[in-house]
Amino acid sequence: MALKFVGTKIIPSALIFISLIISAILLDFLFHLAGLVWIGRYLGIAGTFVIIASFIYSLRKRKIIKSGSPKRLLQNHELQGWIGALLILVHGGVHFNAVIPWLALFAMVIVVASGLTGKYLLKQAKERLKDKEAELVKQNKTTDEIEKELLYSSLLVDTMQKWRKVHMPLTMIFIAFALIHIIVTLLMWRW
């Protein structure tokens, strides 16, 4: 039972995270091997735009924009978050120079990990909700009664709200550090 839980719930999320780190190291290594290290600088810009695009889901969720399927946008949010993070990780490379860009990078990795945790929690809460629905059916409750009971069920809402209390501040810390890094680069770099 415990093994099945680890295999079906924990491992998929962990694999997504590990594949991100391994892909970044591999890509960075290949760029060094091919003498194309300079590309890394521009991957930072590309990664930033991809991550900005991933925030469309957040805007839709807060009803700032009103079109688009939330489910589809959430999938995009996950994918764009992964790709954007990969590009920025390669951009950062393994260089320990300035503290602020490194804090931004570190915060970004934590946000990705937090996002994957949220993905896992959402899946788990949905399954628990399904179990509860099955239980109510067994108790011979009517469809109306089941719907009413599930509507007031705080299972899904509670879990995600608790998680969001962690995910959002982390995202804000990442955005703030990244913003300082971007503004300093825009001001100091020759374009």
Partner 1 sequence: MKRTLFFFTLTLIIGLTALFLFPYYTINPGVLVKGHTDLQNNCLACHSIGSGAPTEKCISCHKLSEIGLKKVSQAVSEKPNNKTNLLHKSIKNINCYYCHTEHNGLSKENATLNFTHSILPKQMLNNCADCHTDKKPDNKIHNLILNDCSNCHTTDKWERAEFKHQLLGEKQNDCKDCHINKTPDDELHIGLDKTVQCLQCHNTNAWKPSTFDHSKYFRFDKNHPSDCKNCHNEQKKFKSYTCYNCHEHQPARISEKHIKEGIRDFSNCVKCHRSGDEDEAKGNENRNNRGDESDND
Q: Which residues bind partner 1 (CB under 8 A)?
A: 95, 97-101, 103, 165, 168-169, 171-173, 175-177, 179-181, 184, 187-191
Instruction: Round to whole Å and give the CA distance between 92 and 102.
Output: 8
Q: Considering the complex, state which of residue 152 and residue 189 has its C-beta at the smaller distance from partner 1.
A: 189
Beta-carbon neighbour count of residue 84 at 10 Å? 21
Closest contact distance (angstroms) between CB of 173 and partner 1 is: 5
- Tokens (6 digits) for 189: 């770099």
- Closest approach of Cβ 133 to partner 1, in Å? 32
82 vs 174, beta carbon nearer partner 1: 174
**Nearest-approach distance from CB 54 to partner 1, in angstroms:** 17
- Name the minimum Å distance from CB 123 to partner 1: 24
CB of 52 to partner 1, least distance (A): 16
Closer to partner 1 by Cβ: residue 45 or 103: 103
Which is nearer to partner 1, 85 or 104 (by Cβ)?
104
Q: Minimal distance in Å, beta carbon 164 to partner 1?
A: 9
Measured between alpha carbons, how far is 67 from 65 in angstroms, rounded to an integer? 6
Nearer to partner 1 by Cβ, of 47 and 136: the residue is 47
Q: Return all residues near 125 (Cβ < 8 A) that are at least 6 apart.
A: 155, 156, 159, 160
> How far is Cα 39 from Cα 62, in angstroms, rounded to an integer?
36
Nearer of residues 121 and 176 to partner 1, judged by Cβ = 176
**Alpha-carbon distances, residue 85 vs 48, 49, 160 (angstroms):** 9, 11, 23
Q: What gap in Å lies between CA 124 and CA 127, rounded to an integer?
A: 5
Give the whole-angstrom CA distance, residue 92 versus residue 43. 9
- Nearest CA to 105 out of 53, 47, 19 is that of 47
